[in-house]
Amino acid sequence: MTSVPPSIFHLTNQEIFVVTAAHAGQISGQVATWVMLASLVPEQLRVVVAISPFNFTNELIQASGRFALNLLAADQTAWMVRFGLYSSREINKFEGISYQLSPGGLPLLPNTCGWAECRIGQQLLTGDRYLYIADVLHHQVDPERQPLREQEAFSQLTADERTALDEKLQRDIDHSRSLIQPF
């Protein structure tokens, strides 16, 4: 188990998004730290996304200025593990997945609740996370699918998967501590 003390932020039940990116023939994906809508204007959707600066996916985002958001469906817990536990530097996370490409050439996972192709407008390095403020260029939704949420996803994990994800989270926290400085 991680040594994360309880807080009001653990009372939420966030949806699980996989962020995908592509550049120079390489593709990658990771579970986002968080995603939120940042505009109320329906014809100009904008999002804020938090991403680890150490992941290969972030390298592709930095190089291309674009990413895609894939909102996982309730039956896609295995993809949360695949895209959240492993590094694209070590495995091909897309192996065996019949993904499509967005209009801008970004990988889109099949049978999700939907996707959004985004172009970065601004970015901020907060210490241990990049915050990307991005315009949604294209998007598609499947209103028949229900999103995978954090609490339900973790309740579906095997004991080994839960342990592996807890250990990875603790390593990430330990690594990130030195990067957070008071403002």
Average pLDDT over residues 139-148: 98
Q: Would you state the pLDDT for residue 4?
A: 67
- In this prediction, residue 180 carries a pLDDT of 84
Packing angle, helices 77-85 and 159-177, rounded to 10: 40
Residues paired with 135 in a beta bridge: 46, 119
| 13-177: CATH number | 2.30.110.10
When pLDDT is averaged across residues 2-24 and rounded to a whole number, the result is: 88
80-98 pLDDT, tens digit per residue, is 999 999 888 889 999 999 9
**Binning pLDDT at 50, 70 and 90, where does residue 1 land?**
very low
Angle at alpha carbon of residue 124, lines to 121 and 127, rounded to 5°: 160
Average pLDDT over residues 68-90: 95
When the pLDDT of each residue in the chain is averaged and rounded to a whole number, the result is: 94
For the chain, the structural domain boundaries read 13-177
The average pLDDT across 151-156 equals 95
The reported pLDDT for the residue numbered 6 is 81
pLDDT given at position 181: 81
